Copies of this chain bind each other. A is one copy, B any other.
Amino acid sequence: MLNTEFIAKLQEIVGKEHVETDKADLICYSYDATQRKFLPDVVVHPGTSQEISRIMQLVNEHKIPVFPRGAGSGFTGGSLPTKGGIVLVMTRLDRILEIDEENLVATVEPGVVTEQFQQAVEKVGLFYPPDPASLKFSTLGGNVAECAGGPRCVKYGVTKDYILGLEVVTPTGDIIKTGGSTMKGVVGYDLTKLMCGSEGTLAVITKIIIKLLPLPEAKKTMLVLFDSIDGAAQAVSAIIRGKIIPTTLEFMDGRTIDCVRQATDLQVPDDAQAVLIIEVDGDREFLAKQVGKISEIIKPLGVVETRVAETPEESEALWQIRRSVSASLRKVNPDKFNEDICVPRSKVPEMIRKIEVIADRYDVPIVNFGHAGDGNIHVNVMIDSKIPGEQEKADKAIKEVFREALALGGTMSGEHGVGIMKAPFIPMELTKTAIDYMKTIKKALDPNNILNPGKIFPSD
């Protein structure tokens, strides 16, 4: 527990009304999408980077840990206050400071909700592509900290690819600017990209400079049913080799189709063993030609049926199938462990087959869908954790999924990050020397280990 003098100092910095210590309030900031719970000692809502700087100086004196938090929508516990201390809620910093239409650059505060930002730039004909599934509530600060992805990344890249510069408060309380608002810049180390995906362990993000694109004129969506996962995977490679990089190349495996079929009135032939949702965007005229070319490329690969949306409403209906997946999984089992391995694109079918073997071996249902264009598979291990032994089976299955992904030249996480959930496993992916190199950076920049401690690195 923190003493009242310390709390009083926090109140002095941010204002009394922005410091919470009541247990009911603390509980609100004790969890994220992992459903793990850790109670902080105090929740602080700073309003400026100067306030955050003063807080960081104060906590360094007292060695109190600080856990920055946006919407708390992460899947790996990156924002959880695992060691008590302070939760630093960034949502008061929620202004879009500038949308520079001439230079296609925006400056925002970290608490801006991703979808609201996307809508704001689309209103003036611009485009911010990264689209994590959480975009209706997740914040841009969190997106940067975790380097969020999404379906559109196959064509447009991940969050990092759009971050030109940052203002951050360092673990020791300095306010620094990284990068800038130019399209290029090579003066000094690229701290901007180092921050992206560092899960709030190297600095608190207080401002974000974002690169925008012109909004594509139109898009066209197709849903294609394949008789095998191999056919779908071959289609992905064949489309890209055909010089078309679709906006999205989302896939669902046979188990996912079963789930959706059971949960909705989706009519799908029985022999459909995989689905691809393919969306292309760009010049309106050109899209019809692209759809034609895609249909031709994939024809020999076991296509059971192709549905092409002719209107925005029809497109929406096709995407509705994809969106119904998460809810439909709950019919399988109440508890979902959602991993997001990524393998080389061509290894997706082999990976899916290996996951099927693992599911059988441990007798746990595993449902796979995700971003086939990137080789990024969302592996959902579905259990009822109230049944004794189920959690252990799930843990073993997940570890084995990681092992197989790594054996195929993949990674444990394409977009969710490490947090606390994957921290115990990272020695499977990174050598001790690589982890030590990273820890050396962390230790040098945060000598008291007070900024988001316990994340990414396995505990010693």
Contacts and interface: CB of A to CB of B under 8 A. Distances in A.
Contact of A414 (B104, B182, B213, B286): B182
A197 B186 contact: yes
Which of A194, A237, A415, A422 has the largest number of chain B CB atoms within 10 A?
Answer: A194
Contacts of A125: 241
Interface string A343-373: 1111000000000000000000000000001
A431 interface: yes
Contacts of A197: 186, 189-190
Interface string A274-310: 0000000001011001000000000000000000000
Nearest to A342: B182
Contact of A409 (B180, B245, B410): B180
B342 A184 contact: yes
A189 to B, nearest CB: 5
A438 B444 CA distance: 10
Interface in A160-202: 160-161, 170, 174-178, 180-191, 193-194, 196-198, 202
A214 B193 contact: no
A342 to B, nearest CB: 4
Interface stretch (A14-22, A145-153, A262-270): A145-153
Interface string A63-88: 00000000000000000000000000
B444 A186 contact: no
B441 A187 contact: no
Contacts of A153: 183-184
A395 interface: no
B413 A182 contact: no
B346 A410 contact: no
A409 to B, nearest CB: 6
A177 B409 CA distance: 13
Contacts of A177: 431, 434
A100 interface: yes
Interface string A413-449: 1111110001000100111011111101111110000
A221 interface: no
Contact of A188 (B103, B374, B414, B438): B438
A74 B435 CA distance: 32
Given A193-B193, A437-B170, A440-B445, A413 B214 contact: no
Contacts of A183: 153-154, 342, 345, 373-376, 414
B214 A410 contact: no
A225 B351 CA distance: 55
A53 B428 CA distance: 23
Nearest to A213: B245
A412 interface: yes
A216 interface: yes
A105 interface: yes
Nearest to A347: B103
Contacts of A160: 190, 193
B102 A414 contact: no
Nearest to A184: B414
Contacts of A443: 444
Interface in A84-135: 100-105, 125
A343 B182 contact: yes
Contacts of A180: 409-411
A190 B196 contact: yes
A176 B430 CA distance: 9
Given A102-B346, A188-B456, A193-B196, 14 more contacts: A157-B161, A160-B190, A176-B431, A176-B434, A180-B409, A180-B410, A180-B411, A182-B374, A185-B342, A186-B413, A186-B414, A186-B418, A187-B422, A214-B245
